[in-house]
Amino acid sequence: MTLKEAMAQGIRRVRLAHWFSPNAYIYLDPHIKFFSKSVMKFYDPDRQKAMGHPTPQVIPYLDALDKRWVAYTGPRAAEDTDKP
């Protein structure tokens, strides 16, 4: 699915299935405006902590037309206080 499709379905946490870390995901803020200079929150707590990076990392907006996104159903990072 695309990020726009995920947002339309109310899915707020997504990942690319081929990512190395099984607990890495992106939180989609409902206020993101697609095709703008928005940012997203990237969570990969184990690797981020090991590398000394903050969790979450704020990253530039990714391609909304990429259809390889899947819903993230794994555990939420302790730092992930966004709802739902």
Task: Please give the chain's pLDDT, 84 residues, in tens.
Answer: 988 888 889 999 999 988 888 999 999 877 766 555 567 888 998 888 888 888 888 887 766 677 889 999 999 999 998 877
Q: Is residue 36 a part of any domain in this protein? A: yes
Q: Is residue 63 a part of any domain in this protein? A: yes
Q: Is residue 84 a part of any domain in this protein? A: no
Q: Is residue 66 a part of any domain in this protein? A: yes
The boundaries of the domain holding residue 60 are 3-71
Q: Is residue 34 a part of any domain in this protein? A: yes
Strands of 69-71's sheet, edge to edge? Answer: 57-60, 39-43, 25-27, 13-16, 69-71
Q: What's the pTM value of the predicted model, to 2 decimals?
A: 0.80
Amino acid at 62: L
Q: What is the number of domains present in the chain?
A: 1
